[in-house]
Structure 1
Amino acid sequence: MHGRLIFLLEEPSMKELLDQLLPRLFPGWVAGEQFFCIKHNGKADLEKSIPRKLKAWREPNVRFVVVRDNDGGDCVQLKARLVTLCFNCGRSDVLIRLVCQELESWYLGDLTALATAYDNRSLLRTAVVKKYAQPDKLLKPSKALTQLVPEFQKIAGARLLSQHLSITHNCSKSFLVFIAGIQRIAQEMDYQSAVLLNNATEF
């Protein structure tokens, strides 16, 4: 891949998840090499950091990805504001991805992964599956998850679930949109690598 992806993340638990999940999505990727995740302490810290990072980053051939919880906000307005923030820093190619509504929505979207990770087959009961068929619509998925799995903790849970989440089967649309966006960027960067290699061999 030509260059690498820089992820600007709202919280440490998202970094824990992506550091392990992305190498499963792209075999051969190594955290810190093909991609680099930067955690922040909440939304305000992330949004203050975005302009500084975009303006100061001098590494060539990088693409940025901003990941932030929606937390029940107006997703259209929020995404537009983040796009404008990046554009004002001279970057029109930043991928903005909102998690609807919290990271825990992604976990609830894959009850098979939860059941496996926490050795709890009761999570696959028909009533539970039906209740969480649309996790992005839950106002507080973090509360719902701790009710289902009382032992769940954000950091340890992210580390554990990164090994079990399905890349392709998840009831959370925001998860699938996130995965599709990263795959698209990776393909674009692979294409750039192929073009550069082809141009180099012509001389």
Structure 2
Amino acid sequence: MKETLNALLPKLAVDRRDVQIIAFDGVGNMEKSLPAQLRAVSKERDTKVLILRDNDNGNCAEHKARLVEMINRAGLAGRARVRVVCQMLEGWFIGDTNALDSSRHLTKPIPKRLKTCDPDSQPNPKAELRKLRDGYTEIKGAQAIAKHMDPKNNRSKSFRYTVQAIRCLTA
């Protein structure tokens, strides 16, 4: 996710010097470490927070409610947003098939069904990309594809909502 955000932020005219991306080693690590980190940043009045996590076929509302509760406990209500990526980050890539084509990262043609589908409803977008490139990995895929993404042209609602949250927090 960090690689994708690093590529996306400049396209949204966000100065990378104003943003700190904290990556976690999995959702379990994030939910364990996040409360302390939120309390620490809450002391800085100008700090705003965007929390992103994959849904991973879970209950989106439950994930979001748990993260919003952490934000509220840290005193960051009004200065933070939570976005749950449906189902996983690779859905954003499927939502921008022009980026997939431009990246030249895939070794097989993109099936027509992926060019027209609702990317957020794909149960396992990562598996879809693995079918199109043997040895697909998250980081190399993000590095190759994200730099070609167009923030104004993506079929993924979760992507569009995330872009909206970034714009709101950085305005």
> TM exceeds 0.5?
yes
Q: Please, which of 46, 67, 82 is the counterpart of residue 67 of structure 2?
A: 82
The separation in 2 between residues aligned to 1:162 and 1:24, in whole angstroms, is: 11
Partner of 1:24: 11
d(CA) in 1 for partners of 2:74, 2:113: 48
Matches within 5 A, 1:99-178: 99-118=85-104, 122-123=109-110, 126-130=112-116, 133-178=117-162
Q: How many residues end up aligned between the 2 structures?
A: 168
Moved more, 99-108 or 51-60: 51-60
In structure 2, distance between residues paired with 1:171 and 1:145: 16
Q: Which amino acid aligns with 2:5?
A: L
Equivalent residue number for residue 40 of structure 1: 24
- SS of the aligned residue for 2:150 comes to coil
Structure 2 unmatched runs, 5+: none
Task: Give the corresponding residue for 2:48.
Answer: 63
The residue type paired with residue 80 of structure 1 is A
Could you tell me which runs of 5 or more consecutive residues in structure 1 were left unpaired when the two chains were aligned. Answer: 1-13, 188-203
Residue deviations 1:174-195, cap 9 Å, x none? 00110011112222xxxxxxxx
Q: Once superposed, what is the RMSD of the aligned Cα atoms? A: 1.8
Distance between the aligned counterparts of 1:173 and 1:79, measured in 2? 16
More strand by share: 1
Q: Is the 8 A contact 1:50 1:86 kept in 2?
A: no
Helix, strand or coil at the partner of 2:52: strand
TM-score (norm 2): 0.90
* Residue correspondence of structure 1 range 184-199 to structure 2 within 5 A: 184-187=168-171
Task: Say whether the 8 Å CA contact 2:105–2:144 is kept in structure 1.
Answer: no
Q: Which residue of 2 aligns with 1:10?
A: none
Q: Equivalents in 2 of 1:143, 1:56: separation in Å?
A: 37
Cα shift readout 1:153-183 (whole Å, capped 9, x = no counterpart): 2112111222101111111110011001111
Q: Cα 1:119–1:20, aligned 2, differ >3 Å: closer, same or farther?
A: closer
Structure 1's 148 and 85: CA in aligned 2 closer, same or farther, altered over 3 A? same
**Shift of residue 38 of structure 1?**
0.6
Deviations 1:98-122 (A, max 9, x none): 0000011001111111011016683
1:119 to 1:140, Cα distance in 2 relative to 1, 3 A? closer
TM-score between both structures, scaled by the size of structure 1: 0.76
| Distance in 2 (alpha carbons) for counterparts of 1:67 and 1:165 | 18
State the 1:87 CA deviation: 0.7
Rg (Cα) greater in structure? 1
